[in-house]
Amino acid sequence: MSAGSAVWINSLIQRFPELLEELVPSTGRRLRERHGGGPVGGTIAPVRLHVSDALRDITDGVVELEEAVRERLGLRPATPALVPNRLRRIAGLLDRIDEHPDLAAHVEEETRRMARRCARLLGDPEQMVRLPGRCPACDSVSLRAFPERAAVMCVNPSCRHTVEGDAA
Ligand SMILES: [Zn+2]
């Protein structure tokens, strides 16, 4: 089941451009300084290398994911596009992706991984996203997705059921 895929994809669509902005020192809002002292003239701060690594990883990941999805669904190869546009195209195929449980699981795992990487780098307070449907454990309408932890959890205090997520 891939109820989460749409959530992770939306999170990536929102936050990938924020990550791009981090590479442009003059216009981007600054990441918290983690190593003391400001950037030294002419050198690239370590945190920025970290960002460019993540951007490359997420870009490659999205391109590969879209190719895999389209190949599996028997569609023609995708035209080149920016990452958020590719993500929107993948989101538009989720109904068809759901017809193939192994593909749906792969899409969910990949988008979850990339959304978490993005969220962790941006380092904002964790955002949670309300999910449709009911908690399988307590039947409340209380499921939320936490991109930073790549987790879907029930926020009913007496339940706290975890639907998915890594212990990390
Ligand atoms: Zn619950």
Per-residue pLDDT of the chain (168 residues; tens, 9 = 90+): 456 899 899 989 988 998 888 877 654 444 444 444 444 444 455 667 888 889 999 999 999 999 999 999 999 999 999 999 999 999 999 999 999 999 999 999 999 999 989 888 887 666 678 888 899 999 998 888 887 778 888 988 899 898 876 544
Residues around the ion ligand 1 (C-beta < 5 A): 135, 137-138, 154, 156, 159, 161
Residue 87: give the domain boundaries.
3-34+43-124
Sorted by sequence, the CB contacts under 8 Å of residue 100 that are 6+ apart come out as 72, 73
| 139 CA to centre of ligand 1 in angstroms | 6
| 168 CA to centre of ligand 1 in angstroms | 21
Question: How many domains in the chain?
Answer: 1
How many angstroms separate the CA atoms of 93 and 72, rounded? Answer: 12
| 153 CA to centre of ligand 1 in angstroms | 8
Sorted by sequence, the CB contacts under 8 Å of residue 80 that are 6+ apart come out as none
The answer as to whether 143 is a domain residue is no
| 55 CA to centre of ligand 1 in angstroms | 35
pLDDT attached to residue 125: 60
| 157 CA to centre of ligand 1 in angstroms | 8
| 90 CA to centre of ligand 1 in angstroms | 30
The answer as to whether 111 is a domain residue is yes
pLDDT attached to residue 1: 42
CB 154 within 8 A of CB 160: yes
The answer as to whether 14 is a domain residue is yes
The SS3 of residue 123 is coil
The answer as to whether 107 is a domain residue is yes
pLDDT attached to residue 27: 44
The answer as to whether 150 is a domain residue is no
